[in-house]
A and B are shown apart, each in its own frame.
Chain A
Amino acid sequence: MTELATSPAAADEAPAVEETRGLWVDGWADLRRRPRFWIAAALILVLLLMALAPSLFTSVDPAVGELSRSRQPPGDGAIFGYDLQGRDVYARTIYGAAPSLAVGFLATLGTMVIGSLAGLLAGYSQGWADSLLSRIGEVFAGLPFVLGGIVILTSLNEPGEIVGAQELVFQVVLTIVVLTWPVAMRIMRAAAIETAQQDYVKAARALGAGPFRIVLRHILPNTLAPVLVYGAIQFGVFIGAEATLSFLGIGLRDPVVSWGVMIAEAKDRVQDIPWALFFPAGFLVVTVLAFVMMGDAVRDALDPRGR
């Protein structure tokens, strides 16, 4: 009631009408006020810097191993210690950031974009497009990850073939996306089906909105939350998946170093040289945490009910 009483005065003071801001502008304004966003952004920035310019952080060559230094614990000269081959764990962790982040980021992006588009199409259209996409998705989702990875990567490369680092990263990303997009599709499809039944979608149709506007403006923003959360969590899972493929000798391999490769190498000797496992795993955990926090912050910022 107070609002009613004060409304005339407030209306007088109000500036000339501004334009209403859209979802993303409002979302950004909200995001800037969240400390969680800034912490996550700072962490991601440092990680990106590590990936783009590893020489800023270390001058040691990560590939050079001196067996005399094998298994030396953290201490003078090497703050993270040396691994079995006598390589500097710190340098390897720094240099491992780029392939790890590339795999994690590109695989997440690919899975989410392809899965979301397929899910939106399936969930909104229902009918035959839904059946077709769902069945195709089931075929891919039905392949066990390791088996599917072996099939895809061995058919891309002849055994023993030497593949460049970039191409290998691309192949690993492709493998992960091909095998996991159906999960993102299912999440998006379920959310889209639920949203498509909401009255505001019916109301938008009753006001003459076409299918594109309905999907992009009304359904997509209301279905982003679960996919964002899934994507943020999958980021770490994908870096781990890359390690699985490396372990099988079909993923990234020497001289390319990634956290996944390091973890895979170190896990057999965890009692012996725990630091070789601990540091790359720690970086992986912090990276996943940063992206989960970022995903959470973005999701909350896009939901006006939480403001």
Chain B
Amino acid sequence: MAPLLEVEDLRVEFGRGPETASVLNGVSYHVDEGETLAVLGESGSGKSVTAQTVMGILDLPPGRITGGAVRFRGEELLGADPERRRLLRGESMAMIFQDALSALNPVYTVGFQIAEQFRFRRGLSRRDATARAVEMLDQVRIPNAKQRVKEYPHQFSGGMRQRAMIAMSLALDPELLIADEPTTALDVTVQAQIMDLLDELRRERGMGLVLITHDLGVVAEVADRIAVMYAGRVVEHADAATLYARPGHPYTRGLMDSVPRVDDVAGAPLRPIPGLPPSLAAIPDGCPFHPRCAHAVDRCVTEVPALRELGGDHQAACHFAERFVAEGTDRPTTHEVVSG
């Protein structure tokens, strides 16, 4: 059976002429029903653009899809009838955003915005739609939902807003939820609550979850599989445990090393990845990561590494992936990473 969502060799550019920024350079990933795929990467690696292209809400222009495929249950979405795509949105796939305050319309009550889904897509009356909105707020564990449906987004706390946003997205029971940095704007304790909620809802509903983040700690706990993106490509993909124990790409390893750990000696320097991500208008030849890579050799400067199969659904785009996998890390299991 076709996977729930399949992105294949997706290519997106912005701008024209010498200014052209290649934002996506052949992104491929897939999500199955009921599973969580984490998409990990720095700002500008193309995580959000991929998500918006999948949803069909990328602004075209300035963006330009130059190749690839996005398939939902085997149905090709790129180039599909816009009306068909609009119907899929909300109904089959939904998305939540980083900043829930700006993603909720300030002039409507939270309940009104959730009820809107039921009124326009299900044809319910205002009263019935509001009752369903209360149910949705209950489902995302907002206390006192009956009162809170009548409140405005600015009267909600950050975590509650994100819950309301989740309720709005899940109103029509989508099979796929894309969460674009859902916890980045929240403080740490609330982050954990929201992640737990998303994980629970995914399990209850058997929906596929694409979790876009740059936070390794968030990923480790809930992801089944992880795709690491760099400069508009997936550079490594594996199940969560494998990725943490035996990363095959120096970039993945760099990301993990850059997270401070509890057992670090106090005052020990942080270990950031040196340099900056490349400008997408001038991605270096060869491996795009080579200017920042401690292990780069001549070959890396000239030859673009292909994704290499490393066994057990583990791929990495590095010429020396096998060597790095064999080395492994001194990392403890994922669980300890999180508690650290």
Contacts and interface: CB of A to CB of B under 8 A. Distances in A.
Interface of A: 3-4, 7, 10-11, 14, 17-23, 26, 198-200, 202-210, 213, 217-218, 221-222, 302-305, 307
A222 B106 contact: yes
Interface residues of B, number: 48
B89 interface: yes
Interface of B: 55, 57, 86-91, 94-97, 99, 102-109, 111-112, 115-117, 120-121, 125-127, 129-131, 133-134, 143-144, 146-147, 149-150, 152, 154, 165, 168-169, 172
B104 A200 contact: yes
Nearest to A206: B95
B147 A200 contact: no
8 contacts: A11-B147, A14-B146, A17-B131, A17-B149, A200-B106, A202-B97, A217-B116, A305-B152
A7 B105 contact: no
A218 B105 contact: yes
Contact of A205 (B89, B116, B146, B152): B89
A214 B247 CA distance: 44
Contact of A304 (B94, B154, B165): B154
A4 B157 CA distance: 13
B129 to A, nearest CB: 8
Secondary structure type dominating chain A contacts: helix
Given A10-B147, A18-B130, A213-B120, A198 B109 contact: no
Given A17-B134, A213-B120, A203 B86 contact: no
Given A23-B108, A221-B107, A222-B105, A11 B146 contact: yes
Contacts of B89: 205-208
Q: Which of B99, B117, B146, B147 has the most CB of A within 10 A?
A: B146
A89 to B, nearest CB: 46
A150 to B, nearest CB: 43
Contacts of A304: 106-109, 152, 154
B53 to A, nearest CB: 12
A20 B144 contact: no
A19 B118 CA distance: 13
Given A11-B147, A222-B106, A305 B154 contact: yes
B314 to A, nearest CB: 32
Lowest 9 A-B CB distances belong to which pairs?
A: A208-B90, A208-B89, A19-B126, A207-B90, A7-B144, A20-B111, A199-B103, A199-B102, A206-B95
Given A304-B152, A305-B152, A305-B154, A200 B103 contact: yes
B321 to A, nearest CB: 35
B97 A203 contact: yes
A22 to B, nearest CB: 7
Contacts of A10: 144, 147
Contact of A207 (B106, B117, B144): B117
Contact of A203 (B95, B130, B133): B95
B103 A202 contact: yes
Given A199-B99, A203-B97, A222-B107, A20 B147 contact: no
A198 B102 contact: yes
Given A207-B168, A305-B106, A17 B130 contact: yes
Contacts of A20: 109, 111-112, 115, 126, 130, 133, 149-150
Given A17-B131, A206-B89, A206-B90, A26 B146 contact: no
A236 B164 CA distance: 44
A202 B106 contact: no
A207 B96 CA distance: 10
Nearest to A307: B152
A303 B152 CA distance: 10
A131 to B, nearest CB: 14
Contacts of B106: 200, 222, 303-305
A207 B120 CA distance: 11
A120 B144 CA distance: 38
A7 B134 contact: no
Q: Which of B116, B131, B147 has the most CB of A within 10 A?
A: B116
A303 B107 contact: yes
B147 to A, nearest CB: 6
Given A17-B134, A18-B127, A202-B57, 9 more contacts: A20-B126, A20-B130, A198-B102, A203-B168, A205-B55, A206-B55, A207-B90, A208-B86, A213-B120
